[in-house]
Structure 1
Amino acid sequence: MRTNTFLIIFLLLGLYETAIAQVFENYSWQTLECTGEPVARHEAAFVEVNGMFYLLGGRRIQEVSIFNPKTNTWTSGAKPPLELHHFQGVSYNGMIYIVGAHSGKYPHETPVPDVYNYNPKNDSWSKCFEMPQDRLRASTTASIYKDKLYIAGGIIDGHWDQHVTWFDSYDFKTQTWERLPDIPRYRDHATSVVCNDKLYLLGGRVTSGKIKKVFELTVGEVDVFDFKTRTWSTMEQKVPTQRAGCTAIAIKDKILFAGGESTAQKEAHNELECLDTKTETWSRLSSLPEGRHGTQLIWFNKKLYTASGCGNRGGSPELKTILSFSKI
């Protein structure tokens, strides 16, 4: 009887993986031919607002690169008031927010003490509110859930030391910060995504230049915060491919997890993996034609996009290409 039970469970898991794959079975990647080109960058944000895509930040002070997916055209926007990199960009009420960012050069980058926003309507930058001064760090994750901004983890001293497990939220309506239960483990260069009233932390590493382990200490566990119970748990299944500088996005009950860097290879990762949050099982989708880290994913009109980033582990080469994953 026990053998039959295990067999049934095995078959069901196989069916779940098949079902996940079938959602994207007619999808394929293509490198888009565009008019104009973006500024090459990495450790930056790629965010959609009102049908337009925005590449913001990255090392050096660089103008915003704006993509129109209807015409496959790139145009230029304003430069930020200072260098902003190593952050996960988010949009809220038509504005793009840069929170938990670093500024400065490797390996002792410094956390930016303020949150900045970019207004796509008038192509302008502004300083909007301060980070919690006693919990200042960068290379955090960032997600929006019900009028609140959530940031998790990070590191204080660039790529060197002082990792934290802090978890905080900012209420846009009351304009106040709140300390929340610490995340279960250290991680920076990670990504977060909200799916079905839960926040998922995926990927990342414990960047430790002080002990000469910048890329080695990747994190495989998926930590999950339940907004209803305000508690953390950890999934049994780790991410299939451990990496940092990665990106993720939620599509209904699924989370797509892509890109990144690790010591497993010189090239940036091109894996696209899918987590079914209902069954907590993983499947593998078609790989990106060109791996990259230090950028984000956009899901728009049933197409997946990613742009720019870095093609190898570390800081070069910075890319100018934009990829689309869509039905054939």
Structure 2
Amino acid sequence: MMNFLFKRVLVLGCLLISIFGFSQDLKLDQYRWTTINTSGEVTGRHENAFVEYKGQLYLLGGRGINPVNVFDPETNSWTTKSKSPMEIHHFQAVVYGDAIFLVGAMTGKYPKETPLENIWMYYPETNRWVKGPEIPADRRRGGAGAVVYNDKIYLVGGIDYGHTSGTNNYFDSYDLKTGEWNVLTKSPHIRDHFPAIVVDNKLYCVGGRNTSVHYPDNFGAFFNATIPYVDVYDFAKNEWRTLENELPVPTAAGSLVQADNKLIYIGGEGRQAQAYNQAQCLDLATGEWLQLAPLNTGRHGTGAVIYKGNVFIAAGSPVKGGGALTSIEVFAPAAEGH
């Protein structure tokens, strides 16, 4: 937060998620969060991505122009790599081949951030940033959920114009082999600031908000406009549906991982001044939600990664709006620690 059958799925985006499978007798109620004592330098940030590539955990992007920080979960140490070519934030990175892809991202300052015109790739083994294909002008947005499935990046939801307007329910695919971009059937609910994930040939959209919500005397009303619905796209049937049971504590910009036949949605921001520390678990077999042990530090605007059966979460903001944590926590069996 065993058998370590390797899978690769995406996470968010806030954000990509790579998974080593849990054992069938998983007892998540016995897991607890521990803040890890680390060595090396790490740059605090939020609205970033956190992904696994070949056993190393990569912290990319976030507000400001930040270096890539790499966490080694075997030594609990951070190393610093090259800076991003520009400010890149509000995205869910995905891994494909030997690159980390950044799509559905924004750049610039609050509240009029602009969506990136191109896909960007970071190559961990050569520490290189590469400008990729142009995104169709009418499909550019940030704060979207992104996943990889069958050699395609699927992008869902997002917002067109920073924190001002344009929250949508777009659904698109980008073929990583042919370079073809396709517009697909819209999802049931508009949302931005959320993660997506693929489990058993189904794409799940969890959390998020409608950042287009503003009032004349309250521009930040969008913080309260969280989305409780879980929308699911079935790739085999090519159709959307919405689960009956809603997210119990709806937040935006949470993190999402898979543990066997369960989803764990972590943290986020919403009505309260502090970031949320809840870890909410959806049993995909029953459709029921339960609450797991809370984070030591509530956070939003980052990703989570599963490595060797434990969940790692790093960076993010501890308060509603901007903040820059440097800490990293691990969700592991209470007796194990880290």
4+ residue stretches of structure 1 with deviation over 2 A?
208-212
In the superposition, relative to structure 1, how do residues 312 and 21 fare at CA in structure 2: closer, same or farther (>3 Å)? Answer: farther
The aligned counterpart of 1:89 is 93
Distance across 1 between alignment mates of 2:77 and 2:110: 33
Q: 2:140 aligns with which of 132, 136, 139?
A: 136
Q: 1:245 aligns with which of 253, 261, 273?
A: 253
The amino acid across from 2:189 in the alignment is R
Q: CA deviation at 1:252?
A: 2.1
My pick for the range that moved more, 92-101 or 289-298, is 92-101
In the superposition, relative to structure 1, how do residues 201 and 21 fare at CA in structure 2: closer, same or farther (>3 Å)? Answer: farther
Greater C-alpha Rg: 1
Pair 1:72 & 2:76 matched? yes
The aligned counterpart of 2:21 is none
Distance across 1 between alignment mates of 2:209 and 2:261: 26
The aligned counterpart of 2:234 is 226
Distance across 2 between alignment mates of 1:199 and 1:142: 10
Q: 2:328 aligns with which of 310, 322, 327?
A: 322
Pair 1:266 & 2:273 matched? yes
8 A Cα contact 2:213 2:225, kept in partner: no
Higher-helix-fraction structure: 1
8 A Cα contact 1:114 1:127, kept in partner: yes
Q: 1:301 aligns with which of 300, 308, 329?
A: 308
Q: CA deviation at 1:120?
A: 0.5
The aligned counterpart of 2:105 is 101
8 A Cα contact 1:107 1:209, kept in partner: no
The aligned counterpart of 1:58 is 62
Cα shift readout 1:60-99 (whole Å, capped 9, x = no counterpart)? 1110011111111101011111110000111111311111
TM-score, normalising length from structure 2? 0.88
Q: What secondary structure is seen at the aligned counterpart in 2 of 1:134?
A: helix
For structure 1, which runs of at least 5 residues remain unmatched after alignment?
Answer: 1-19
Q: What secondary structure is seen at the aligned counterpart in 1 of 2:223?
A: coil
Distance across 1 between alignment mates of 2:168 and 2:28: 37
The amino acid across from 1:271 in the alignment is Q
| Structure 2 counterparts to residues 162-201 of structure 1, below 5 A | 162-201=166-205
Pair 1:158 & 2:166 matched? no
The aligned counterpart of 1:7 is none
8 A Cα contact 1:308 1:320, kept in partner: yes
8 A Cα contact 1:142 1:152, kept in partner: yes
Q: What secondary structure is seen at the aligned counterpart in 1 of 2:224?
A: coil
The amino acid across from 1:204 in the alignment is G
Distance across 2 between alignment mates of 1:100 and 1:139: 6
Pair 1:292 & 2:296 matched? no
Pairwise CA RMSD of aligned residues?
A: 1.3
Distance across 2 between alignment mates of 1:220 and 1:52: 33
Identity of aligned residues (%): 41
The amino acid across from 2:101 in the alignment is Y
Aligned length in residues: 307
The aligned counterpart of 1:40 is 44
In the superposition, relative to structure 1, how do residues 189 and 134 fare at CA in structure 2: closer, same or farther (>3 Å)? Answer: same
8 A Cα contact 1:53 1:69, kept in partner: yes
8 A Cα contact 1:37 1:320, kept in partner: no
Q: CA deviation at 1:132?
A: 2.0
The amino acid across from 1:140 in the alignment is A
8 A Cα contact 1:195 1:252, kept in partner: no
8 A Cα contact 2:40 2:77, kept in partner: yes
Distance across 1 between alignment mates of 2:89 and 2:312: 20
Distance across 2 between alignment mates of 1:37 and 1:242: 33
Distance across 1 between alignment mates of 2:269 and 2:249: 10
Q: CA deviation at 1:268?
A: 0.4
Q: What secondary structure is seen at the aligned counterpart in 2 of 1:88?
A: coil
Distance across 1 between alignment mates of 2:288 and 2:25: 12
The structure showing larger relative contact order (alpha-carbon pairs under 8 Å, at least 6 residues apart) is 2
8 A Cα contact 2:92 2:195, kept in partner: yes
Distance across 1 between alignment mates of 2:291 and 2:325: 24
8 A Cα contact 2:33 2:331, kept in partner: yes
8 A Cα contact 1:46 1:296, kept in partner: yes
In the superposition, relative to structure 1, how do residues 94 and 164 fare at CA in structure 2: closer, same or farther (>3 Å)? Answer: same
8 A Cα contact 2:41 2:80, kept in partner: no
